[in-house]
Chains A and B, each alone.
Chain A
Amino acid sequence: MALVKQLGKEELFAQGHRGCAGCGETIATRLLGKAIGKDMIVITATGCLEIISSVYPQTAWRVPWFHVAFENAAAVASGVEAALKAQMRKGKRLPEKIHVIGLAGDGGTYDIGLQALSGALEREHDFLFVCFDNEAYMNTGIQRSGSTPYGAWTTTTPPGKCSIGEDHWKKNLPAIVAAHNIPYVATACITYPLDLVSKLRKGAAVNGPAYVQVLTPCPTGWRFDSNLTIEVGRLAVQTGYYPLYEIEDGKLHVTIKIPERKPVIEFLKVQGRFRHLKEKEIANFQRFVDAQCKQLGIP
């Protein structure tokens, strides 16, 4: 049966959450529910997703869900996974597959959550960690993170007489995660839902830790019209800025082929956060993307 039909009509992430119009993260969350199904426990780091979905006494979650803090979704997931294992072994709970899912934004993954994530990966807990990458601290008002791309405007990297905006390259976190030699690492984007769902399912199915990093364009923080979320994601992939690949047992392969790579300016020009960039910076950006594509064997 085609994957799209398998997804079904049930919504485990309910309507009525408080996400912005055009929010990429909520699209990803909805697809996560459809990909994994009811038998999961979700631990979400502090951030946009947490605050839009769990305003006491309301909740958008139709699966067991726990928010603890910003930097420790992977640490809490470790405890959940270990506790399930102990309970099943000791006969306190019937043995069954319960997927443990850690969710965090790029701040809760690249920056403040990196230590807890690294520890949990190294300990080989059987869990899936999903990073919703919107390339800045959106929840606190668009401050830069380790994932913010070169040249981007954020409220803490404002372009000015002495500034081009963010002056560092985005950290290659999937490579850092892959260096833990875990069974499954992937990048994905909401614009390619079937690719995303298939990666989430693979990640959940492997025995041991898995990491899926999902590009979730953010109209509020990236400064584009809320009807362009899917299109901006497409341009990120088609320009080679955000290549979609998976690393299974150490072998990398690109899952969304780009037969004719577009110039990165196509991706940059639709977003207000790059509006101030001059030719020189755009050329730098293109060089960075070319090098990245070359490394991945993308023409």
Chain B
Amino acid sequence: MVKRVGIEGSGAVALAAKLADVDVISAYPITPQTHIVETLSRYVADGELDAEFIKVESEHTALSACVGAAAIGSRVFTATSSQGLALMHEMLYVAAGCRLPIVMAVANRALSAPLNIWCDHSDSMAERDSGWIQFYVESSQEAFDTTLQAFKIAEDMRVLLPVMVCLDGFILSHVIEAVNVLDKDEVAKFLPKFSPKYVLDPKHPVTMGAWASPDFYLEFKMQQDEALRKAKKCIVEVNEQYGRLFGWKYGNGLIETVQVEDADVILVTLGSMTGVARVAVNKLRADGKRIGLLRLRSFRPFPAEEIREAAKNAKVIAVASRDVSLGSFGGAALSEVRSALYELNKKPHVVGYVLGLGGRDIKVEDFLTIANKAYEVLSKDKVEKDFDFIGAKE
């Protein structure tokens, strides 16, 4: 049965992990992720969830223990933010390289220095090449759904990769929204039990984590890359199946588009800022502007073909980013969207806007400013500045 409840994004993620009946949770506190693991601690303390909760001494150990538990064939979950994710950096690559289907929620937060606890995508964007699947969710509802979907995708034999569910710190993690939650029976229809093929077991000894010489390393990386690409099909299928079973889904699973078919200008977004962009798009449409919206739900695997298809008729693509690749082209998404569109015969101008860093509010006016700038590019038929900061103080 589907029940509608008022719940924080953090609560929605924790509830999804509980419904997935995880065996092991290993986590370390960091703001703004804490409510997720606090909620899970309570579930375990109250006997609502039968899991081992390892209260570790660092995020590095949090993920290391997940790696060990996943290698035994357990369903495992962790959550972190910012500095914690940065401390996990080394283990992120190991988890992906060992093909362990770990699910981790990242409550996105800025990286120090200066220290800042508020929403920013720089933490997870810095890990975009670690080999993890990365979803950026727009709402608490999507955080709930995507956490459940993440287990199914991660554990799919075609995929076998860890998944990061990125939800905006505070904006989603700490805000109570109405969320349609599933019960155990509903989840059972969707998420099968985890039964991996290769695990550490004295009855069938295997060696995991062997080192690879230059004769083999490249092939390992090729296989990982192939698995990430193949994951696209799985993500699309899982999104469809979820929609069929429960009645709601997110675009094609990889991207979600709004009125892009006839749009001259398409705004590209990630995460909760999309809701604000939707309002701006509606406003501009009412003013007769042909503007559309494309939300990147999956950042890894990167939906290049889907973006090409959605953007093929547009003249300007304006990429809004809540992270900054210092000394390069603004947000990480700008470079990647541009790369995806570069080989189109009729390629649109692609321009980037960095905003909302360190938790600064993103307002409808910000997207109106971005749209104005994009329309300037359109009228001049020229990009004068690859990217710009929006809302910076003089």
Binding site for B on A (CB under 8 A): 38-41, 43, 50-51, 54-59, 61-69, 71-72, 75-80, 82-87, 89-90, 92, 98, 115-116, 118-119, 122-123
Q: Pick the interface stretch among B204-212, B221-229, B291-299.
A: B204-212
| 8 Å CB contact of B202 from A64, A82, A85 | A64
What are 27 inter-chain pairs, A to B, with CB distance below 8 A?
Answer: A43-B68, A54-B211, A58-B210, A61-B207, A64-B208, A65-B200, A65-B206, A66-B200, A66-B208, A67-B210, A68-B209, A76-B68, A78-B65, A79-B26, A79-B66, A80-B200, A82-B26, A83-B52, A83-B69, A83-B70, A86-B51, A86-B74, A90-B50, A98-B202, A116-B61, A122-B57, A123-B56
B378 contacts partner chain A, Cβ-Cβ < 8 Å:
no
Point out which of B50, B54, B201, B206 has the most chain A C-beta atoms below 10 A from its C-beta.
B54
- List the B side residues contacting A83 at CB < 8 Å: 23-24, 52, 68-70, 72-74, 76
- List the A side residues contacting B56 at CB < 8 Å: 75, 78, 119, 123
Contacts A50-B211, A80-B200; A89 near B50 (Cβ below 8 A): yes
Whether A78 and B61, one on each chain, are in contact in the complex, defined by CB atoms closer than 8 angstroms, is yes
Task: Give the distance to chain A from B306, nearest Cβ to Cβ, in Å.
Answer: 35
| 8 Å CB contact of A68 from B57, B64, B202 | B64
B67 contacts partner chain A, Cβ-Cβ < 8 Å:
yes
Whether B55 and A65, one on each chain, are in contact in the complex, defined by CB atoms closer than 8 angstroms, is no
Whether B64 and A75, one on each chain, are in contact in the complex, defined by CB atoms closer than 8 angstroms, is yes
| 8 Å CB contact of B60 from A38, A116, A123 | A116
Whether A64 and B65, one on each chain, are in contact in the complex, defined by CB atoms closer than 8 angstroms, is no
- List the B side residues contacting A89 at CB < 8 Å: 50
Q: Give CA–CA (A41, B56) in the complex, Å.
A: 21
B280 contacts partner chain A, Cβ-Cβ < 8 Å:
no
- List the A side residues contacting B61 at CB < 8 Å: 72, 75, 78, 115-116, 119
B94 contacts partner chain A, Cβ-Cβ < 8 Å:
yes
Whether B23 and A75, one on each chain, are in contact in the complex, defined by CB atoms closer than 8 angstroms, is no
Q: Give CA–CA (A76, B212) in the complex, Å.
A: 21
Q: Give CA–CA (A215, B356) in the complex, Å.
A: 56
Q: Nearest chain-A residue to B193 (Cβ)?
A: A92
Within 8 A of A (CB), among B41-90: 50-52, 54-58, 60-61, 64-74, 76, 90
- List the A side residues contacting B345 at CB < 8 Å: none
Q: A66-B68, A123-B55 are in contact. List 7 more A-B contacts (CB 8 A).
A: A54-B209, A67-B210, A76-B71, A83-B74, A86-B50, A116-B60, A119-B56
Q: Give CA–CA (A66, B69) in the complex, Å.
A: 11
Q: Nearest chain-A residue to B90 (Cβ)?
A: A69
Binding site for A on B (CB under 8 A): 23-24, 26, 50-52, 54-58, 60-61, 64-74, 76, 90-91, 94, 98, 200-202, 204-213, 216
Q: Nearest chain-A residue to B55 (Cβ)?
A: A123
Q: Give CA–CA (A119, B59) in the complex, Å.
A: 12
Please report whether the interface of chain A is mostly helix, strand, loop or mixed according to DSSP: mixed
| 8 Å CB contact of B94 from A41, A54, A68, A84 | A68
Q: Nearest chain-B residue to A94 (Cβ)?
A: B203
Q: Give CA–CA (A83, B25) in the complex, Å.
A: 9
Task: Give the distance to chain A from B94, nearest Cβ to Cβ, in Å.
Answer: 6
Q: Give CA–CA (A116, B65) in the complex, Å.
A: 10
Q: Nearest chain-B residue to A120 (Cβ)?
A: B61
| 8 Å CB contact of B210 from A38, A55, A79, A82 | A55
Whether A79 and B69, one on each chain, are in contact in the complex, defined by CB atoms closer than 8 angstroms, is yes
Point out which of A41, A61, A82 has the most chain B C-beta atoms below 10 A from its C-beta.
A82
Whether A56 and B216, one on each chain, are in contact in the complex, defined by CB atoms closer than 8 angstroms, is yes
Contacts A55-B211, A68-B67, A87-B72; A39 near B202 (Cβ below 8 A): yes
Whether B67 and A79, one on each chain, are in contact in the complex, defined by CB atoms closer than 8 angstroms, is yes
Task: Give the distance to chain B from A222, nearest Cβ to Cβ, in Å.
Answer: 25
- List the A side residues contacting B60 at CB < 8 Å: 71-72, 75, 116
Q: Give CA–CA (A76, B210) in the complex, Å.
A: 15
Q: Give CA–CA (A56, B68) in the complex, Å.
A: 20
- List the A side residues contacting B50 at CB < 8 Å: 86, 89-90
Q: Give CA–CA (A69, B212) in the complex, Å.
A: 14
- List the A side residues contacting B207 at CB < 8 Å: 54, 59, 61, 64-66
Whether A76 and B64, one on each chain, are in contact in the complex, defined by CB atoms closer than 8 angstroms, is yes
Whether A63 and B213, one on each chain, are in contact in the complex, defined by CB atoms closer than 8 angstroms, is no
Q: Give CA–CA (A119, B65) in the complex, Å.
A: 11
Q: Give CA–CA (A61, B94) in the complex, Å.
A: 20
Task: Give the distance to chain A from B318, nearest Cβ to Cβ, in Å.
Answer: 41
Whether B213 and A55, one on each chain, are in contact in the complex, defined by CB atoms closer than 8 angstroms, is yes
- List the B side residues contacting A118 at CB < 8 Å: 57
Whether A69 and B73, one on each chain, are in contact in the complex, defined by CB atoms closer than 8 angstroms, is no
Task: Give the distance to chain A from B170, nearest Cβ to Cβ, in Å.
Answer: 29
